[in-house]
Structure 1
Amino acid sequence: MRIYTRSGDKGQTSLIYGDRVAKNDLRVESYGTCDEANSSIGVALSHLEREEWEDKKSFMAVMHKIQTILFHVGAELATPKGKEVQWQLKKEHIDELEKHIDQWDENLTPLKNFILPSGHEASAGLHMSRTIARRAERMAVALESEGELNNPLVVSYLNRLSDLLFVAARYVNQCLGGNEVPLQPDV
């Protein structure tokens, strides 16, 4: 099978179940942004390959599971309203994110002010992933407001994912000695 089909050359693409829509359709933008967040997480994690710290194996396993779930969230978003979703996001997936947020956050210095995305390359990359996840969340909210979202948990998951990515960025900085740069309000 070839990677190119030429079927999208006129600005249309297929959703799951074959429905054709414009490539700038809100549904396509939503799942495309999940894909972008997933790729961004992968780039951030690639900066950790050469690093060693006590919790690295566990951290990477959590992040790879999140990438897998995020791929499935994209598939949910690519499924037209009313059609059967093959894999469905569940409340347990959100609970698991919260567990990891709490686990990593308990070891972090409490924030007294905003911080700039910075520090170790992986940390800065996770901050970038966080902003992309927030954009995916906004698009899912728009899809929901149009009555086109199959599973309302998608919005909650993306919201919590961005929280996790923020804490993960701080956690990586702490584990690897990255510098957190506080926002200077009087610039």
Structure 2
Amino acid sequence: MACTALIVIDMVNTYEHEDALVDSVRTCLPGVETVLRRARADGSPVIYVNDNFGRWRSHHGEILQSALAGEHSELVKPIAPDEDSLFVVKARHSAFFETPLAYLLGQLGAERVALCGQVTEQCVLYSALDAYIRHLDVVVAADAVAHIDPGLAQAALRMMERNMSADIQRSREISFSGPPAR
């Protein structure tokens, strides 16, 4: 049975970045919480795909603990993985690049992915492209993605919609039940 998997990109983070990203994450956090709640309520797979920050001996538990111990733990705690969440570690921008994500999605029967996280004009954009070239339907929760540059983020959303046939929706509008929209 085909399903929609929610992919949460790079939200388990210590936020040792410029203030613009932290402010943007604060703004999109309610959308991330909403889309997580909707996916979990439907029993849809929730997959966190997260940067390993160059720590090649780290695993998801260590990444989460570092983020929760960081200066901006209030940005991580409300959206932290639960016991049913899956976790994939990545080293580059795309959630798919040299990770087992495509295989995992195949095992789960996912034909559609809903993307949220950060940053819109980089990791979300590249992950959407890689999902599209793998013939997955893509939906992006526009109110659940953070950015560094607002202009580039808007351009990235337009590119995903136009060039990758991505469905750009608000987090409360994304349906996880039923067959993927075509």
> Given the two structures, how large is their TM-score scaled by the length of structure 2?
0.28
Q: Give the greater-gyration-radius structure (CA).
A: 1
TM-score by length of 1: 0.27
* Structure with the bigger percentage of helix: 1
* Higher normalized strand content (fraction of residues): 2
